[in-house]
Structures are given as structure tokens and as C-alpha cells.
Amino acid sequence: MEERYIPEVPLSSFLRHALDIVKNPLPFHHKNFMEKGDIFSLKLGVNTKVYFCRDAAFAEYVLQKNHKNYTKSKIQTKDLAKYVGKGLLTAEGAHWRRQRKLIQPAFHKKQLKGLLASIEVAILTEYKKVVANKTIDIFPILNDLAFQTVVKSLFSSAANQNDIDRLQYITEAAQKMLVKELRQPYLGWWFSLSGKIEKHLKLTAEARQILSRIVNERRTSGSKQNDLLDMLLEARYEDGGAMEEAQLIDEILILFTAGHETTSNALTFTFQLLALHPEWQEKICQEILVVNTQSEDLMTRVMASTVCTQVIEEAMRLYPPAYFIDRLNIAEDKFNGMTFKPGSNLLLSVIEIHRHPDLWEEPNTFNPKRFSEGSRKFSSQYFPFGAGPRKCIGNNFAMFEMIIAVRELVSRYKIYPKFDDIDITPLITLKPKNAFLKFEKR
């Protein structure tokens, strides 16, 4: 095949728009995709070139077909790992494969069924904060909801509220610090010299102490809670051994980090879109009436909530919390005549693939009906939880949680928008901004 040239964006163009890019890089990405094509490059230094991609076939190739030749970048394997350790999200190679095989059974649908009651209780508790006939920013409520749901699923009632609040504070503080480090790499020396990084490393050490105490209390109590902590404690490697405590705590910290921010973002965008499209609120309500009369079993109700599922899937298409996926290739690779030297930085733009005009009919329109046959129909162009062997292990957990959260809120309130347009802040995840809504009791 003839060698294809990959268009390059001049560094001068990047520098000219640097301040705007720091605030929101997505317009810069979109402009160059439109002008340069579905793959373009940007040289940021003598030996650093980043390839930006919205080619769904190439993304599928990297994430699935030739995934063994690709590894995560240091953003996760080093920068994030220093705060949360080497868990599933940050590990690579044989260590990752061993952990994935060990932990995967805990997230099978049949195992998650036993957690749904705890998830529902956590959600209903947080919804007590919703005030009728008053404009509120829904994101803080949903952020707490998502964290509390992870905690209740992990620890049932074992952890006291002071510990939970402290763990949430530390988790979010570390995330904010990581964002600063990634958005302002030129201030790395100052973050170290001023003690900011050391301060947050001490906070994560405190979180580890809290988690160690909770784990040891569970072990010595001998009680069975049938929560995620029990499942992780009982999990065994092929040699019959259990996870060491340090590794177990790494995995719990990963669940806190990966399991709450993306979910709260997705839920916020979902409710904003429902506020703008009230006809879908009514469709969900009609579905709830039918489903609830057919079964009292919560898992059955969740699995039967197809309209609700379509709404959430469409929200994650338009506003994917994990809006980019980064990879480095180990050996030289070729794809459709393009050559990628070893160690090339690849940035797969999920949000651009999800809105690509060649892949989606009316790509910028909210239309949950497109998922009426399920999301598998779009498996080669729809990656809200990633794809391939490194697809998010908690995707079923997250979907069950979001379905319950949407059902419970929409069945209680009519939702009205108190914002002009859906506003975003692209950080490590795609975060909502100014998500002001008004709720009227049904």
C-alpha cells in the first residue's frame, strides 16, 4: 500500500491559540479535524509528536484488533498512579492481566444484582437534597450520589460517615491536583517546590490508613456483607492466593476515582438533556408504570428499562465523560498506509468519533431512538466505556446505577432547564458546567 502522509498542524498555530486551548482544547481539535482530516499530528518538541484521531476504524484497531502493541500513556501509569497506586486503571502488562482476571467476576451482572438494593438506598438518600420549585445546580448532588453509591457498594454499612466524607474529600482533592499538573506542566517545578504535590501524597496516605482500618475491621469481624469488599477479599489468584492489602487498597482507590466522577458527569448531562427534551421524561415515566406493574424485582425492572437506557446511551454519545483515550505504540505500526514510529503519542477523540457526520445521522441531535436496537450495533464507533480488553470493568455497574438514578428522579419530578446551553469543562474527564435545573413534583 502506498505510504500516506499524515497532515501536521504547525506548532505556531498551537502556540497562537495556547491560552484558549488550555481552557478548552475541543474547538482546536475540531477545527483541525475539519481542515486536516480524521488523523493529524502536532509536534510539541524535538522528540514529541502527538497524533489526534477521530477515525473510528483506527480507534478500533488500536483498542481491539492490535491492542497488544499499545500501552497507556504516563498520564495514567505514572501521574495518576502516584495518587491511587497500581490498580486496574493504571497497571500494565502481566500485572494488569492478573488483576483483571481476579476482579472481573465481582462485576458480572449476577454478582451486581445483590448490590442493587444498596445502590438504590444511596441514590434515594442523596435525592432528599433536591428542593422542589427552586433552581439548583444538580451536579454537586449527583457527584455526592455517585461517590456514596460506590462507598455503599463497597462497604455496605461498615464505614462511618466521617470516614466516608474524608475519603471523598481526599479523592476529589487528588483529582483536582492532578488536573493542575496536567494542564500546567510548566509549573511542575513549582508544585514540587511549594509542597503541593507532597501535601496531596500525604492526603492519599491518610486515605490508605482509613481503608486499611476498614479492611482489617471486616477481616476480624468475620461478618458477611455480600458487598464488593467481601468479593474482593474472597477473590483468589490461580495459585490460590488472595490480594495483598496494599494491592486491595490500590483497587479500592481506583474504584473511588474511576467510579464516581465519570458517572456523576454522565448523569448530569443526561438530566440536562432530559430538561431540554421533556417528551423523553414522559416516555421514561410511561415505561416505569409498565415495568413496575410487571415485576417487583429491582434487577428485572432495571433490565426492562429500555427507554431509560437509550436516553443514557445517547447522552454518553453526545457528552462522553471519558472524551479521549490515550495510547502509546510499543513497536512501529502501520494502518491504511500510515506509519507510526515506536512510542508515538496517540489521542483518540471519543467525542469526535461520537459526533462524526460520516458515522451518525444528524450527529449533533439528541435522538435516543438511534439506540433502539441496543448499543452493540455501534460497537465499532461508540466507546463511552472504552473498548477491547481494557474496556471499563465497571460498565455494567455504572449503567445499573444510572438507570436507577434516572428512573427515581424522573418519576418524582418534572425537570426544567435553567441554562441557555449545555456548557462543558474538558479536564481529565468531560465535566458539566452550570447545570442549573428546576424540579416540580409530579
What sign does the dihedral 335-336-341-346 (CA atoms) show? negative
What one-character-per-residue DSSP string does 120-132 give? HHHHHHHGGG--T
Q: Are strands 70-71 and 39-43 parallel, antiparallel or unpaired?
A: unpaired
Write down the H helix ranges in 18-92.
18-23, 26-36, 56-60, 74, 81-84
Cell numbers of 154, please? Answer: 463497597
Express the helix, strand and coil content of the chain in percent, nearest 5 each.
60, 10, 25
Give the separation between CA 211 and CA 209, rounded to whole angstroms.
5
Contact predicate 215/229, CB 8 Å: yes
Nearest to residue 343, comparing CAs of 69, 63, 77?
A: 69
308 marked as part of a ligand binding site? no
Give the separation between CA 177 and CA 305, rounded to whole angstroms.
38
Nearest to residue 319, comparing CAs of 294, 354, 345, 343?
A: 354
Where does residue 195 rank: exposed (0-12), middle (13-18), buried (19+ CB within 10 A)? exposed
Nearest to residue 84, comparing CAs of 328, 261, 256?
A: 256
Q: How many residues in total does the chain contain? A: 442
Judged by phi (left if over 0) then psi (alpha if -120 to 50, else beta), residue 396 lies in: alpha
Give the separation between CA 287 and CA 407, rounded to whole angstroms.
9
Known binding-site positions: 392
Known binding-site positions for heme: 392
